[in-house]
Structure 1
Amino acid sequence: MREGDDMAPGGACVDCHTKKNERKVLFTAAGTVFPFGHEADNCKGSNGLRVGMKVVITGADGAVIELPVNRVGNFSTMKAIKKPYRAKVVVGDQERIMETEQTNGDCNACHTAEGTTTTKGGDPAPGRIVEPPAAP
């Protein structure tokens, strides 16, 4: 497995890093942005560096955290996030906004290739976190 910021695009980041670090959580939020909604784990995600892509998280307290998306689509933060939070993917003036507020910062835990949920009775994600459409 690759190490560093390029590791395991699509994998459940927070869960994996928690297990590997003896239950010490490193990330409060982390995930992968993909060009399409149903990519398999370990497929290269969107190259966020090429287009200045970022994930913007707005906490319940109104605090905004901007997370750059790296060359394989991964993003992460260790900053505190007041939940529930809102999230969107931004490239220039184009946005893809998450429809519902969230409480789980392990974004790829729900945003799998087929989409799932970590909330009993909750609506599943439609698939992967997908970059916004290109500007017209």
Structure 2
Amino acid sequence: MARILIVEDEPDMRELMARKLESVGHEVTATRSGSEGLAALRSTRPELVLLDVQLPDTSGLTFCATVRADAELRDTLIVMISASAGQEEVDAGLAAGADDYVTKPFAPSKLIQRVEALLSPER
């Protein structure tokens, strides 16, 4: 399966996503801040990042823009995750370079489906 990085400051959400992704065979690294997430991204080179929009040390939008500006990281798939479901927020996430945008709360099975669709070779 795939290497996935979770960048999420809320412990329960981070653990839920990690458990669900691991249960379907993914290798998961979980971090709780943008700085930890960028360091892990550079060291583990995951295929996909699940990125909270509101982090304690940066915004998910800034994190995403940083990744997209880096020639070595820019092809990493990014799924932004946020409690903000307004169209403006979704548009801002996609404009920053996110490949998908998922709003909280979400059914874990739906998140898995979205991740699998992005990782699909047919994509």
User: TM-score if structure 2 supplies the norm length?
Assistant: 0.28
**TM (normalized to structure 1)?**
0.26
Greater helix fraction, Structure 1 or Structure 2: 2
Task: From the CA coordinates, give the structure whose radius of gyration is larger.
Answer: 1
